[in-house]
Amino acid sequence: MNTLTLADIETIVDTMVSVALAHEDEFSQLDGLCGDGDFGASLATGFDAIRTQWAELDRTSISAFALKCSTIITSKTGGCSGPLWGTAFMRFGIGARGRESLSLADLVALSQAAQAGMMARGGAKLGDKTLLDAMDAATTAIQQTADADGSIPRAFAAAARASAAATETAKSWTARRGRQSFTGNRSRDTYDPGMVAVTKMLEAVSTCFPIST
Amino acid sequence: MKKFINDPTHFVSEMMEGLILANPDTLRWKKDSNIIYRADAPRHDKVSVIQGSGSGHEPAHIMAVGKGMLDAAVPGNVFAAPPMDYIVECFKLMNTPKGILHLVNNYQGDRMGWDMAREMAEAEGIRTELVVIDDDVSVENSTYTVGRRGVAGNFFVIKAVGAAAEQGEDLDELVRIGKKVNGVVRSMGMALTGCTPPAKGEPIFTLADDEIEMGVGIHGEPGRRRDKIKPADQLVEEMFEAVAGDLPFSKGDRIGLMINGLGGTPISELYLLYRKAALLCRDRDLTVVQNYVGEYCTALEMAGYSITLIRLDDELETLMKAPAEIPIRTF
């Protein structure tokens, strides 16, 4: 399996929705250690709105689907998570224009576009202990698989491992952006909820695309 | 809470419906996206000028829609930025071959929502430009801002770019004019009371009978300090010094002077405040070419006022004096 179709993208988004809803309390508790404790609820509200409108979502193309998801997430997700996650979907959707399927190389480019958009929107940089650090690690892993055999299942598995490792590494960092940064050194030795969410989503997506032996 | 409401969740839509019923010949309403727009918009021979922010600041912005001012306004709920999809709809509805200028007051929620909507619109081939307004000298950063807040100075930006758009100026020219106005307009506000968003049901903050909030924001954000009430002239003096000293305005300048009510201050008190501000202008040898006394940018029923000064040159003076017609006023 070396390309992703619209149906695969739908599977991925549906999986992200499930993770956001299933881990709502856990994400909020993580956020509550240093932030304002609403991350899980905010994320769940936005992704739940996607599920509510699932049947009517625009499926004319990967791009249209991603842009519709972007609009819903931005409009329905509370706090700063809405514009940030919404921007990721929007940049993905704009970058996917005219594509009927995506290769791993495409996925890397779109993920980088999404990260660049989030950085522009929220002002975070790599190393600030935000979900961008997890996305960057995952993207690098996908790039490496793209350079090797281009297998999508292998890429997702590698991305999930890389994201989990980055989340663990960043645990000892001090947050420099977002609500957690207000607590200064208190954010050390806590997991960043955004990074945990990205990791859980990648792990769940990975199980949807099993590596054939 | 004691207010003229039916259902707090219908507050914004029923206000818009009333506005449309009162102005059937000049305004239109796209109900599903909260858009109030000129009956003759979009016009293909001019740039569309649009703005949207939280409701509760009326007449900003839905009552600033009309000839020579905004082509459309897209508000959110009270004190909440409009949802991104409403803004995207507004861009689509107001699209013209000459493009769209959107004005945004400097608040994080508004900035992010408009930035995203703008990217979406541009991906669909709509040409847009942005002017950000941040005229409030009270505080350098605030509850909802990085940088200064955008308050009543917003009116002057709308007036200038609205007039220039009416004359057929292109998008780049409107951006230049909008930024120029924002560069020469300064404001500061203060509150005697808090205010109550209908959906919240209780005041955002409360002040004791003898207390004021000096430098308050139009969403009730804290200002420079909480203080005791003083004679009006002293309050005007402090705020005038802060505003006039910021640009700074200097001897011989020709200016526009605005005393803006925040929603719960009678026009009598506004003219009493204007008196002192005008006398201070005379003392400083600032010539008031244009004056504005009334409500331009409010915070629901908050008692309080703001003072705005704009430094005019020939170009801006002409734009300020150009004809304009909006529901609350004819210029």
CA B102/CA B121 separation, integer angstroms: 12
Q: Which of A71, A76, A87, A181 is the best substitution to test chain B (most B C-beta atoms within 10 A)?
A: A71
Q: B120 touching A, CB under 8 A?
A: yes
Inter-chain CB proximity A86 and B84 less than 8 Å? yes
Task: Using alpha carbons, list the distances in angstroms from residue B169 to B101, B122, B177, B325.
Answer: 12, 21, 10, 19
The CA radius of gyration of chain A, in Å to the nearest whole number, is: 16
Minimal C-alpha gap between A87 and chain B (Å): 7
The CATH number of A6-208, from 3.30.465.10, 1.25.40.340, 1.10.3470.10, 3.40.50.620, is 1.25.40.340
The CATH number of B8-184, from 3.40.50.620, 2.40.30.170, 1.10.287.110, 3.40.50.10440, is 3.40.50.10440
Task: Considering only the beta carbons, identify the residue of B85, B112, B119 that sits closest to A75.
Answer: B85
Catalytic residue among B10, B44, B57, B102: B57
Q: What is the ipTM of this complex?
A: 0.72
Please state the domain extents for chain B: 8-184, 185-330
Q: Up-side HSE of residue B194: CA atoms within 13 Å toward CB?
A: 16
Inter-chain CB proximity A90 and B85 less than 8 Å? no
In sequence order, what are the residues at sequence separation of 6 or more whose Cβ sits closer than 8 angstroms to the Cβ of residue B143?
B217, B219, B221, B222
CA B151/CA B142 separation, integer angstroms: 13
Establish whether domains B8-184 and B185-330 are of one fold.
no
Q: Domain B185-330 is classified in which CATH homologous superfamily?
A: Dihydroxyacetone kinase; domain 2 (3.30.1180.20)
Longest pairwise C-alpha distance within chain A: 48
Minimal C-alpha gap between B25 and chain A (Å): 32
Q: B279 touching A, CB under 8 A?
A: no
Residue of B nearest to A87 (CA): B116
H/E run at residue B185: strand B185-191
Closest by Cα among A69, A105, A100, A101 to A87:
A69
**3-class DSSP state of B245:** coil
**pLDDT by residue for chain B (331 residues), tens digit each?**
899 999 999 999 999 999 999 999 999 999 999 999 999 999 999 999 999 999 999 999 999 999 999 999 999 999 988 888 899 999 999 999 999 999 999 988 888 889 999 999 998 899 999 999 999 999 887 777 778 999 999 999 999 999 999 999 999 999 999 999 999 999 999 999 999 999 888 999 999 999 999 999 999 989 999 999 999 999 999 999 999 999 999 999 999 999 999 999 999 999 999 999 999 999 999 999 999 999 999 999 999 999 999 999 999 999 999 999 999 889 8
Active site annotation includes B219: yes
Inter-chain CB proximity A94 and B113 less than 8 Å? no
Please state the domain extents for chain A: 6-208
Residue of A nearest to B109 (CA): A80
